[in-house]
Amino acid sequence: MPAMAISQIVLKVPNAAREIPRRIRVTPQTVNNWIEGKTMPSAGNLVALIAEFDEVTTEVLRIAGKRTLTDAQYRAARQALQLLAGAEDDTIP
């Protein structure tokens, strides 16, 4: 995913510079680097962004050319996020 797309995704989060570091435990400088296109989130950070912010999920789907997920796709994505995040059942909605 190009750096410009990451910047657009991150900027969809209201108060991104404050909320993203607080909710996914990265530094504010990390988020600024993403916004400025200097670096890109790791796979784990991208998963955390998707898990934490509906705005990110929506924008990633839009960029991928998907408008919405079917119930089966949602369940599969939820299971994949849980595996990637090492989460217990029911910790990712």
Report yes or no on 85 lying in a domain. Answer: no
In angstroms and rounded to an integer, the radius of gyration of the C-alpha atoms of the chain is: 13
Distance (Å, rounded) from C-alpha 39 to C-alpha 43?
Answer: 12
Q: What is the CATH number of the domain that holds 24?
A: 1.10.260
Report yes or no on 41 lying in a domain. Answer: yes
pLDDT (tens, 9 = 90+) of the chain, 93 residues, equals: 566 777 888 888 888 889 999 999 999 999 999 988 899 899 889 889 988 888 888 888 887 887 777 778 777 877 777 777 665 544 455
pTM above 0.75, yes or no: no
Report yes or no on 87 lying in a domain. Answer: no
pLDDT for residue 86: 67
